[in-house]
Amino acid sequence: MFKPKYPPQDTAPVPAAPPSTVHSPVPFQSAAAPAPAAAGASNRPAVQLTPGSALTLVVGGSAVVLVVGAVLVSMLLAVAITAASVAVCAVTLRSILKSDRR
């Protein structure tokens, strides 16, 4: 049960070594440079914003900014409340320990 089970060994025949090839040097021939593409031609379709899609982008962006802002403000408020309560606990403990020494 706890012994490892190994897969069966591969029974494929071992291929023979490939024949060696001798490379003869070929003189370099420079190819003609391709013609530059026209400046205005592009494979990408042009993005056209209609008034409706622009309004959707503005409303969506504003909603994202408001949500992120609300989350950040709530996190800052949580940190501030925690710091204030720790400070109140520290002052209370200090007062109790100071009055206990008298």
* 48 closest CA partner among 57, 61, 35, 39: 57
Beta-carbon contacts of 49 under 8 Å, excluding residues fewer than 6 positions away, are 57
Beta-carbon contacts of 57 under 8 Å, excluding residues fewer than 6 positions away, are 49
Q: How far is CA 100 from the centre of its chain?
A: 56
Q: Is the pLDDT of residue 62 over 90?
A: yes
Q: How would residue 87 be classed by pLDDT, with cut points 50, 70 and 90?
A: very high
| pLDDT score, position 32 | 67
| pLDDT score, position 66 | 97
* 77 closest CA partner among 87, 89, 66, 69: 69
Reported pTM: 0.45
Q: Tokens standing for 90? A: 């520290």
Q: How far is CA 21 from the centre of its chain?
A: 47
- pLDDT tens for 21-55 read 766 676 767 666 666 655 555 677 777 888 898 89
